[in-house]
Amino acid sequence: MLLKFLKRKKNKKHECGATAVEFALIISVFLLVMFIIMEAGIYMFNRHVLTWATREGARTGIVSRIDRVSEEMIKERVNEFAKYIVTFNPNRDPISVDIDNLSTGTKICSEFGDKLQVESRFYYNYGLPVNFIPPFSLAKSDFKIRIVTKSTMICE
């Protein structure tokens, strides 16, 4: 019986949909991998932009001026540079900024040599809808990744 099965001629009628099925299986895995790579790239870009914005906010806060820069001006500077964050959510979560003078405990530089720390947080939403994948469809969360960056600089 096994020899008959092995010796039989290949009949094209029995394999007419095999190519389409194989293509569907391969293309779905390929597209999933491509979307994951794109999502990781966007996440890393957003992390870089938030780090850049946090550093610019800290630089603004440490610059020597007669009137020191206020906490609101530092937050505005961070938000000005963070506008380049890429997100697929039209109602993007705001960026939260915490400012702390590690030497005196105030929110601004008061003396030369004080350490000013600026911390920014942003919640990144996935662009890839993962709710159709069985393990993720059972979860109740909305799949946000928290990006946190800190920059500590010495006041001039």
Of 144, 96, 100, whose CA–CA distance to 121 is shortest? Answer: 96
Tens-digit pLDDT profile for residues 61-116: 888 677 778 889 999 999 999 989 888 777 777 888 988 888 787 877 878 888 88
pTM of the model: 0.75
Is 126 or 115 the better-scoring residue by pLDDT? 115
Average pLDDT, the chain: 81
Rounded-to-integer distance, Cα 127 and Cα 88, Å: 6
Most confident among 30-34, 50-54, 102-106, 142-146 (mean pLDDT): 50-54
Sequence spans of domains, the chain: 18-154
Of 97, 103, 101, whose CA–CA distance to 79 is shortest? Answer: 97
Looking at residue 13, its pLDDT comes to 61
Looking at residue 148, its pLDDT comes to 93
